[in-house]
Amino acid sequence: MNNQIISEAKSRMDKSIEAFRSEIMKVRSGKATTALLDGVKVDYYGTMTPLNQVGNVSVLDVHTLAITPWDKTMVHPIEKAILSADLGLNPISDGTNLKVPIPPLNEERRRELVKLVKKFGEEAKIAVRNVRRDANEKLKKLEKEKEITEDQRRDAETEVQKITDKHIESIDGIIKVKEAEIMEV
């Protein structure tokens, strides 16, 4: 029973890290990546639709994204959606396609982005610790109901703590990599 609790806790912690990774992928580092536009929704005939469902988003070069709408009448709505997404990006239209130049970041903006990444990291750590707390509470409940012994509970809590420490370390590593990527000129 306690192995099930441990594996469930590990799985939930893994999901927290994946959510953190997808969140920081949206933080721009001065390099073009299609993940920058993942949150952009376009008004597609009255329905708010993710950008990648109304056109092909690709990386043209290190500092430019290219968007090719499947419906040529969508060029203006896509341009409008990118501008209203408040990403600091200004798309350039040639009538049938869009190019989105990624402007270089200034020092102040880089520091703000690093703070943002650290904030997301702290939120991910809190989520991991909450999973640890839930697992420990389940273990204590099992002990109280006499399904496991005190030694088994302590061993399981130690295992949960090891998993927690490993996940916190992983989050710190991801933060370091992203911080270096952002601060790179």
Residue 35 neighbours by CB under 8 Å, 6+ apart: 22, 25, 26
Q: Packing angle between helix 2-25 and helix 107-144, nearest 10 degrees?
A: 170
* One-letter identity of residue 46: G
Residue 73 neighbours by CB under 8 Å, 6+ apart: none
User: Against a cut of 0.85, is the pTM above it?
Assistant: no
Per DSSP, the three-state class of 23 is: helix
In the sheet with 98-101, reading across from the earlier edge strand, the strands are: 55-61, 64-69, 98-101, 92-93
Is residue 159 a contact partner of residue 135, using CB atoms and an 8 Å limit?
Answer: no
pLDDT mean by block of 10 residues, the chain; 185 residues: 88 93 78 79 87 87 87 87 81 88 83 89 95 93 90 93 96 93 79
pLDDT computed for residue 185 by the predictor: 64
Among 37, 46, 50, 96, residue whose Cα is nearest residue 71: 96
pLDDT computed for residue 168 by the predictor: 96
Following DSSP, what letter does each residue of 84-137 receive, concatenated? HTTSS---EE-SS-EEEE-PPPPHHHHHHHHHHHHHHHHHHHHHHHHHHHHHHH
Domains of the chain by start residue, with CATH: 2-26+106-183 (1.10.132.20), 34-101 (3.30.1360.40)
pLDDT computed for residue 124 by the predictor: 95
Among 108, 59, 101, 95, residue whose Cα is nearest residue 82: 101
